[in-house]
Each structure stands twice: as C-alpha cells, then as structure tokens.
A and B are shown apart, each in its own frame.
Chain A
C-alpha cells in the first residue's frame, strides 16, 4: 500500500516536472528577450537570468527611429487591409461553397486548397512583374495584394467549414420570404458568423503581421518596410557588432500585441486552427 502511494507521489512529481520543463522551454526565449531589452548597453554582455535592471534606453533608441515607427505604421495598414479584403472575399465565397450545391464546387475547393500549398518563392518572379505593372512596387498596396495568396485560401476554408455548421431552417425561411442571396448572407448569416470571422480575421492578421519574404522582396526603401523586415535589417557598425539591445526591444514591441491577442483569444484561435488546419 505504501509502495503504491510512493509510486503515485513520484508520478505526480514527474508530471509537474514535465509541465515545468515544457512551460520553461516555451516561454524562456521571449522572457530572455525582455530581460535583454531592459539592460543598459554596458551590461549587455554579462549573462543574467533575471531582470536585474529596469533601463528603458533601448526602447527609447528604437522608438525614436522614424524608420521603425514607419515600419509599425506600414505593418498595421497592411495587416488590417489584408484582414478586411480576406474576410469580404472569403465570406461571399464561403456562402457559395458552403450553402449551394452546384457543378464545379469540388474543383473550386481543390483550387483553394492547392493555392494554400504554393511555395511563396514559386510565384515571386511572376508576382514581381504583376506588382510592377500595377505600379505597386515599394508600397503597402503591393504587399496587401500579394498577401491574399496565403490569407484568402485559409479564410475561405475556415469560413466554409463554419458556414456549413449553421442550420438549414434559417435559410429556408429567408428563401420563402423571397430574400436575395446577398440579403440572406448579410442579414442572416453574417450576424451568426461573427465568432468565426473574428477567428479567421485574427489568424489573417497574425499571418500578415509576420510575413517576411514578400515584404523583403517587394519593398526597397526604409520608409516602406514592414516590421519583420525592419528588425531583420537592423545593423550596427559592422556585421559582427549587431546592436542586440535595440533589436530585442524592437522584438518585444512587435510581439507583445500578438502575445496579448493570443492569450485573450486562445480558445478562438485553437478552434480556427483545428477547423482549417492552416499553416502555423
């Protein structure tokens, strides 16, 4: 009996140890970025595991750079526009794919799924040409356009999944009343789909906020960069003297909103990820 008790205690301790290690593994890097960002540059090269100084000079350095502020502004503009466009196009497409039975529906679904698996670099040269032809090179417009390639497919996919789950009776009543499809969509479905739209919008926002390859390729000047590119291109006097303090401060600034969003909306995000199994 005591042996069994001992064994269960050992198992409990082992379990909590495992939980502790996993949590530490997940959050330590971000924690360490915060620790580093709060150090004065003189102490930067002494390794410390705890916040032992509250020095905001790195934040002041970063936030007083006009290019970094411009990058934040560009990222916000691009991400919000991408969310709006993806939701608008995704919602109409999801109604057609989720509520109507017609020839070619499966083909359209396969096209959408196929596009979500495109390697971005495969469309890089073609997209570069399109963007230059439309005179959108080195502007947020070019990024908004190009980001549809990865936000639209998963928006359509997730919204279609949610649209399917709504009961038929709703739409039957609207059809009997002679409502047009557009009215049905905006007056009947949209109010019910707000949670799903919030989820997909959030995922699209995160995807657009984090994108790097297109932003690096389709912008040229510092004033048009987005946040990931701005951080990747922060450089010091030489390749070997990167200003780690400001880099970590910038990293914390652009990540904190995302972490807050994720912690608040974790349930929604999980349901969206599992419904669409979008890329991580």
Chain B
C-alpha cells in the first residue's frame, strides 16, 4: 500500500476540482477544420476576451500602477493631481532621525499583527475544517441539513457576523461573559474587544467561525473522491482508524487542503472588515490593510498610504508567486 500512495495522491491532484491551475487545458474540437476556420476562431477569441481585459485593466491594472506612482509622491486626498515626486521618502528618509513607513513602529506592529492573525486563524481553520469535513463525509441521517447549517457562517456578511459577535462578546451584557461566569471559568466579565491582550483572540475567533466552512467544503470535495479500496484493505488488515487517517486519508487530501489554506492565507493577509468593525483602529489589532486605509482616507495622506499599500501588495504577490510556482510544479509532476 505504501508504494501505491504516491500514484493515488497524484491522480487525486490531477482530478482535484479545487486545484486552482485546473482550467489551463482547453477542450477543443478534435480536428480544427482548415486554417481559415481556425484563424477566425482565434480572432473571435481575442474579440471575446477584449471586454474582460479592458474591465480588468480599468479596475485593477491602471489603479495599481497609480498606487505605485502615488507611493513615491506627496499626494493628498484633496490634491491628487498636484502631487510632486519625492522619491522614496514615504518609505524611508533620514532627516534628523529616520522617518517613513519602514521607521514607523506602528507599521511593524501591523505587519506582526497581520502575520500572527494569518498564521493562527488559518491553522485553526485547517484543523477544524478537516474535522468538519470528516463528520460531513460520514453517512448519517440528516447529513444534508447539517451541511446546510455549516454553510450559514460562510453566507453571513462579514460586517454582520462581526456585529453579532461584538454583541455576544459585549463586556457588560454579552452572552459569552454570562456563560463563562455561569460555568465558573472566569470570575469577572472580560472586555474582549477593548482589552489589548484579548482583542486579537476575539478577532481570530470570529474569523475562524466564519471561514472554517470554506475549508471544510474544499476538503469534503476531496474526501468524496477518495478510492474506497484502500479503506477496505485497511479494514481487513485491522489497522486502527486513527492510523488510517494519518497514513492514508491525510496524504490524499493534502492537495485540496493546501489550495484551501493558500486561499485563506491570502484572505487573512489582506483582512479588513472584521477588524474594522470589531476593534476599529486599535493598535493591538491593526493590520496592514487597516494601517494603509487609515493613512489614505482618515489622514488623507495618499502618498504615505499608497506606500503602505504597495508594501502589502509586494508581500501578497510574493506569496502568490511562490504558490503558483509550487502549484505548477505539482501539476506538471502529476500528469
């Protein structure tokens, strides 16, 4: 069985519908009749792509280029046009001491907060997601209803779930303090969202609650495609189910789990809504997105805020490139 595992893993990776680089091989009529028809099709293809490409250029390409440009200017929200080029002064400048983002302790705290938030919440979501997926994969009465219930946190708008949790975590009247005090776990109410040592955990709690269904669904899709024969073999051999999980199931669902984790990680690195609603601009939970938006909109310092946005973009681009590279290699090896 040990020798069969890699091939199984590869097949499941190649068939895995969650595999993000899945759509790169087009179906096409087996014989593309004649070059005339073929040329017409290629021309039509570009024609059909043009509206989408113009759309993406207008809302993504051009604005991103402008953000890069603003980051080396002294632009402010009221005078975007009259911006002057000031080099890298928004990033770092020496003028009787170091100034700029890279010398701002609050920026570094935001970076640390973001990484901490992403690491902890995505790890919890991965573990919980696998557990939920295993439960949903079992055959029991009412499975469809349970799956629908699991989807509810995912469907609730982030702002709404943050508000609901803010109410449940309310320091004076919240049900969570009430419950914990009734159970005798705490002896005085905690102010979950205001206390700097607790607020990050409050934010993580809400994010885990909301995003676990997404991970669970991707893992469940992979679980449902597992071949049943190796499970039967394991059962016949009398191998303990926990051992079967770690030796057979986990390696086989790893590709799908990785896709889910990378998507969650990219989301967690740019997290904004849940933190803005729960704890606003508090330093203890400030993330890179919150920092950048505060500079851009509230302090109206478009140049400085754009520099922060640019740094955030670079970090996420780096993660994406590493992921695409790994994903491509994995898929190339599988076929």
A residues with a Cβ closer than 8 A to B are 15, 18-19, 22-23, 25-27, 29-30, 32-33, 36, 44-45, 47, 49, 85, 88-90, 92-93, 95-102, 105-106, 108-115, 117-130, 132, 145-146, 148-149, 152-153, 156-157, 160-161, 163-168, 171-172, 175-176, 180-182, 185, 206, 209-210, 212-213, 216-217, 227-229, 231-232, 244, 247-248, 251, 254-255, 258-259, 261-263, 266, 269-270, 273-275, 277-280
Say whether A277 contacts B289, CB under 8 Å: no
**Given A89-B52, A93-B49, A266-B151: A247 touches B163 (CB 8 Å cut-off):** yes
Residue in B28, B59, B131 whose CB lies within 8 Å of A168: B28
Within residues 153 to 197 of chain B, which ones have a CB less than 8 A from any CB in chain A?
153-161, 163-165, 167-168, 170, 172-175, 178
Is there a chain A Cβ closer than 8 Å to B149's Cβ?
Answer: yes
Within residues 40 to 84 of chain B, which ones have a CB less than 8 A from any CB in chain A?
40-42, 44-46, 48-49, 51-53, 55-56, 58-60, 62-67, 70, 75, 77, 80
Say whether B175 contacts A121, CB under 8 Å: no
- Chain B residues within 8 Å of A93, by CB: 48-49, 51-52
> In the assembly, what is the distance between CA of A120 and CA of B64, in Å?
10
- Chain A residues within 8 Å of B313, by CB: 118-119, 122
> In the assembly, what is the distance between CA of A259 and CA of B266, in Å?
25
> In the assembly, what is the distance between CA of A157 and CA of B263, in Å?
14
Say whether B152 contacts A27, CB under 8 Å: yes
The distance from the CB of A196 to the nearest CB of chain B, in whole angstroms, is 13
> In the assembly, what is the distance between CA of A130 and CA of B293, in Å?
17
Say whether A117 contacts B266, CB under 8 Å: yes
Say whether A251 contacts B163, CB under 8 Å: yes
**Given A97-B49, A109-B24: A18 touches B305 (CB 8 Å cut-off):** no
> In the assembly, what is the distance between CA of A115 and CA of B58, in Å?
12
Chain B contact residue count (CB 8 A cutoff): 114
The distance from the CB of A214 to the nearest CB of chain B, in whole angstroms, is 10
Name 12 A/B residue pairs within 8 A (Cβ), A-sorted.
A15-B138, A30-B156, A89-B52, A92-B48, A115-B60, A124-B292, A130-B58, A164-B23, A168-B29, A181-B44, A227-B157, A262-B154
Is there a chain A Cβ closer than 8 Å to B324's Cβ?
Answer: yes
**Given A96-B48, A122-B312, A280-B264: A22 touches B150 (CB 8 Å cut-off):** yes
Residue in A119, A126, A270 whose CB lies within 8 Å of B63: A126
Partner-binding segment picked from B88-96, B101-109, B212-220, B227-235: B212-220
> In the assembly, what is the distance between CA of A185 and CA of B151, in Å?
33
